[in-house]
Amino acid sequence: MDEARRFAKFESVPGIVRIFDCFEANDTSYLILEYLEGMTLKSYLKENGPMSAEQAIPIVLEIAAAMKKVHKAGILHRDIALDNIQILNPGEKEALRAKLFDFGASRYATTKHRKSLSVIIKLGYATEEQYRSRGDQGSWTDVYALAATLYTMLTGAVPQDAMEQGVKDEIKRPSKMGVKLLKPVETALMNALNVKIQDRTQTMEEFAGELMAAEVKERSITKMKKEVGRFPNGSLPSKERGLLWLRLLPF
């Protein structure tokens, strides 16, 4: 029912699936949603392969415009990815339209509502802050996920996971993978995929603006400070390293 109420706020927003009603019966909550023709973006890419920039960017701009209104209401989606975007007209490759759905992971992002957020992880699309229940999640969190989605649309590959990227940045620029892309567009994309929040594109409006700009400045990257503890070079003994890895395993 909470999901239904969040949906209802954006009934008239293009780019977001509509909800017509919600009710409770048989100890169950039901949502009546708009029926969407077509297929998920994930299925579309599986059938057709990577998209050209001319195909992909209008879709991303459409989702960004919708999410701008969602963020203005103080709500985050937190799970933007290929399987939560529906391509409505897969047969019209030169004029594809899309809608975002599944607000089941969405949460209020305002200070008033923000407490400990549930950890939502989709490898390659989740930000570093989403790995922590009290991570500083905001519009920049959804910007990263939408940028990761665009990256996959263009390259056919999921970007390097944010946690791995934070340790050793090995994410490849699309142009290095043979994708034909204007330099400003690629810079806009990579700015939005920066691991650290302070280095990343902050809003959907900013991201959309950079994608359409004739010139985009590359954001500077904050250098990681090495933590030097009581062990040489800040390293842990093998026993402690093993315990740390056990704590990180997703049981």
Q: Tens digit of pLDDT for each residue in 143-201?
A: 999 999 999 999 999 998 888 887 777 889 999 999 999 999 999 999 999 999 999 99
- How many domains would you assign to the chain? 1
Residue 243 pLDDT: 44
- 220 is a domain residue: yes
- 6 is a domain residue: no
- 54 is a domain residue: yes
Model confidence at 3, in pLDDT bands (50, 70, 90)?
Answer: low
Residue 129 pLDDT: 87
Q: Tens digit of pLDDT for each residue in 44-79?
A: 999 999 999 999 999 999 999 999 998 998 888 888
Is 79 among the catalytic positions?
Answer: yes
Which residues lie closer than 8 Å to 76 by C-beta, 6 or more apart?
70, 106, 107, 108, 109, 137, 138, 139, 141, 142
- 70 is a domain residue: yes
Out of 25-29, 31-35, 180-184, 205-209, which region has the weakest mean confidence (pLDDT)? 31-35
Phi/psi of residue 63, each to 5°? -70, -40
Instruction: Tell me the average pLDDT of the chain.
Output: 83
- 8 is a domain residue: no
Collapsed DSSP state (helix, strand, coil) of residue 30 = strand
Q: Is the pLDDT of residue 97 over 90?
A: yes
- 110 is a domain residue: yes
Annotated active-site residue in 21, 27, 79, 102: 79
- 50 is a domain residue: yes
Return d(Cα 151, Cα 218) in angstroms, integer: 17
Residue 81 pLDDT: 93
Q: Is the pLDDT of residue 241 over 60?
A: no
Return d(Cα 130, Cα 117) in angstroms, integer: 9
- 129 is a domain residue: yes
pTM of the entire predicted model: 0.81
Residue 128 pLDDT: 87
Residue 247 pLDDT: 45
Structural domain boundaries, residue 150: 38-224
- Please give the full DSSP string across 182-234, using - where no structure is assigned: -HHHHHHHHHHT-SSGGGS---HHHHHHHHH-S--PPPP-PPPPP---SSGGG
Which CATH number goes with the domain that contains 220?
1.10.510.10
Q: Tens digit of pLDDT for each residue in 101-159?
A: 877 666 655 434 444 455 567 888 888 888 876 778 899 999 999 999 999 999 999 99
